[in-house]
Structure 1
Amino acid sequence: MAGQGPAPKDNRVRRNADSVDTITLAESPTDVPRLRGYARYSAATRAWWDTWANSPQAAVFAPTDWMRLSMLAPLVEQYHEEPKTALLAEIRLNEERLGATVADRQRLRMKIEGPKENKPKLAPVRDIADRRKSLED
């Protein structure tokens, strides 16, 4: 006898299915707000802002998300002037909420769609002679 109790039911329905859909991000936004005092910031902080402004996840940012980034800019500037662990931790925490890393985007159910390229598919090479012949052509 294998075990006690009733036999398991077949085709159980998952009752805790995800209630949130995945967001597919395809391109960067077109209407990015300007960072106040942009010219006063260092090149490193401006590069940080421009990276966020051109990121695919920025396409779904609400005004509050842009406000959070603008509030972070002075901390990023301060970190570049004098790196401190506490500053980096605060920056990382806030960037995490916006989907900075692959793990963050997975947690937020964000998926970045790669560029659609029409690359020709190569036929599989069967042996080295076929490979040499394909390189000669």
Structure 2
Amino acid sequence: MAGYGPPPSENKRRANKDEFEEQAVTVADDGTLHGPELPHDALYTPRTLDWYETWRRAPQASAFTGTDWQRLHMLAPLVDAFWLEPSTKLLAEIRLNESLLGATHVDRMRARIKIEAPKLVSRPAAGVPDLSERRRRLMTDAS
């Protein structure tokens, strides 16, 4: 059985870097909830509902179209069946479908999906003085 081969390289020195950058889809990891709720959610176990909510919060979900959400809806009964009675056949089918949606780092590399890390805002903790103003004054006094 043939595989996918090695994932694409993100080597910054390779010759076709611009081609990768043009084809890549960049999504933000902002924790936003995407997509529709799982239909008939009362029928599923809490673990399946958690699985679906994890997909809804996944950064790549911001790029999902209707067919991607339909695939997850069709996959939910298999995930539910897996939690009720785990089997390697179910796990293989789930893994294959999730791979096509960019579940793992390697899957996202193959799909040219880049996740932009959230921007960190630097703020001093409560009760800790902000030393940047003091540093600035010391630097100006020293000159």
Shifted more, 43-52 versus 22-31: the winner is: 22-31
Counterpart position of 2:26: 24
1:51 to 49, 54, 62: 54
Change (3 A) 1:110 1:45: same
Higher helix proportion: 2
Q: Report 1:1-137 matches (<5 A).
A: 18=19, 21-26=23-28, 27=30, 31-119=34-122
Structure 1 CA distance for aligned equivalents of residues 46 and 121 of structure 2: 36
Structure 2 CA distance for aligned equivalents of residues 94 and 18 of structure 1: 27
User: Comparing both chains, which one has the higher relative contact order based on Cα–Cα distances under 8 Å and sequence gaps of 6 or more?
Assistant: 2
Q: CA deviation at 1:64?
A: 0.2
Aligned partners of 2:34 and 2:61 also within 8 Å: no
User: Which blocks of at least 5 consecutive residues in structure 1 are unaligned?
Assistant: 1-13, 121-137
Identity within the alignment, %: 47
Structure 2 CA distance for aligned equivalents of residues 37 and 45 of structure 1: 12
User: Which blocks of at least 5 consecutive residues in structure 2 are unaligned?
Assistant: 1-14, 124-143
Aligned partners of 1:45 and 1:73 also within 8 Å: yes
Structure 1 CA distance for aligned equivalents of residues 27 and 34 of structure 2: 16
Aligned partners of 1:28 and 1:57 also within 8 Å: no
Instruction: Find the residue that maps to 1:93 and give its secondary structure.
Output: helix
TM-score where L is the length of structure 2? 0.68
Instruction: Find the residue that maps to 1:25 and give its secondary structure.
Output: strand
Structure 2 CA distance for aligned equivalents of residues 99 and 109 of structure 1: 9
Structure 1 CA distance for aligned equivalents of residues 42 and 81 of structure 2: 15
> How many residue pairs align between the two structures?
107
Change (3 A) 1:31 1:54: closer
Aligned partners of 2:34 and 2:56 also within 8 Å: no
